[in-house]
Copies of this chain bind each other. A is one copy, B any other.
Amino acid sequence: MKIAVDVMGGDFSPMAQVLGAIEASKQRNFCLVLVGDEEQIKSCLPIDIDSTKIEVVNAAEFIDNDESPTLAIRRKKDSSMVKSLNLLRDNEVDGLLSSGSTGALLAGGMLIVKRMVGVQRAALVSIYPTTKGMSIIVDAGANVDTTPNTLLQFALMANIYYKSLFNMPNPRVGLLNIGKERNKGNQLTIETYQLLEKSGLNFIGNIEARDVPFGGADIIVSDGFSGNITLKLTEGMAYAMMNRLKETMNDGIRSKIGALLLKPALKKMIASLDYRDYGAVPLLGLQKPVFKAHGSSDEVAIKNGLLRLVDFIEQDTIEKVKKSIEEDENGV
């Protein structure tokens, strides 16, 4: 197996990408193609690497977060992202991981790697830690103006992904909405409800936002706008609550001693909110495996993201997703 890593465009690029990738390749024995500024990459490489397993492809430029995604993909032919996507399209590698611009990776995935037959839009998923375990949100922000049928496809694809990621046979699919009743919500959710009901998925109905942090559903189906609001607000609320807690812990000497005693247990709690365990997520609906890591990924996140990508390839998840979409198209 050979995997391309676009090492540019992250907050700690290329160091975190290079070191994380090498660590992952040691653990699971696959070959690496590191794509980016050759000089920078070489300065990060340890001296004892096995050069039969690691290849470097130079890219003279990279795509920034604030560039227009489609334009950047079309114009920056020599960027690390476009070069990585070309390697994947040309079957030089079996999968690709990037920490660069989400929008550009999605546009590039659609333009270069291409969608599966029958898939309307590629979906971005996100792993969401709850008090019960892990949920996933689809779409996490890539598709903001969408249709009921696209959301149905997202649910079908996320269902396959969830099953293989967590080895769970029948995940509960919930539709993010502002009320539990089937007639609640906006036009999009009311129509999507009817499609999900007939989908053969384990559809448990609407899920209200207040139940999301408690694991009210395993798969949260949403348009990318509300999905992204959900993710970012969760992050904001976690920080805000921790800030309030810190202030509380500085409220007099008595509280300070209490805080000191609680410290080890609090560290454990904070660790349970850590996104880095999952490292990266697939763009679902593309012909080939494209994984997106968080822009702020460190070495551990990149390593874990690549391990998930290896699983994704070994479990042949792409073929399973294709089959699920085909069955739906045939009205099965």
Contacts and interface: CB of A to CB of B under 8 A. Distances in A.
Contact of A265 (B131, B211, B248): B248
B232 A230 contact: no
A46 interface: no
- A178, A260, A272: residue with the most chain B Cβ atoms closer than 10 Å: A178
B234 A233 contact: yes
A257 B264 CA distance: 13
A242 B209 CA distance: 17
Interface string A154-192: 000000000000000000000010100100011101000
Nearest to A176: B229
A187 B262 contact: no
A259 B259 CA distance: 8
State the number of copies, please. 2
Contacts of A259: 258, 262
**Most chain B Cβ neighbours within 10 Å, of A185, A244, A264:** A244
Contacts of A268: 248, 251
B235 A210 contact: yes
A69 B247 CA distance: 44
A240 to B, nearest CB: 4
A178 B229 contact: yes
Contacts of A66: 181
A141 interface: yes
Interface stretch (A3-11, A32-40, A88-96, A220-228): A220-228
A49 interface: no
Nearest to A215: B240
Given A178-B141, A225-B226, A226-B225, A233 B261 contact: no
A48 interface: no
B187 A145 contact: yes
Interface string A244-283: 1101110110110111111111101100100000000000
B261 A232 contact: no
B262 A186 contact: no
Contact of A261 (B229, B238, B245, B254): B254
A144 B186 contact: yes
Contacts of A228: 178, 209
Contacts of A252: 265
A144 B214 CA distance: 25
Nearest to A273: B244
A247 B272 CA distance: 12
A295 interface: no
Nearest to A269: B248
Interface of A: 66, 130-131, 141, 144-145, 176, 178, 181, 185-187, 189, 208-214, 224-226, 228-241, 243-245, 247-249, 251-252, 254-255, 257-266, 268-269, 272
Given A209-B236, A229-B230, 17 more contacts: A130-B240, A178-B225, A178-B232, A209-B231, A210-B235, A210-B236, A211-B236, A214-B240, A229-B229, A238-B241, A244-B269, A248-B262, A254-B265, A257-B258, A258-B261, A261-B261, A262-B262
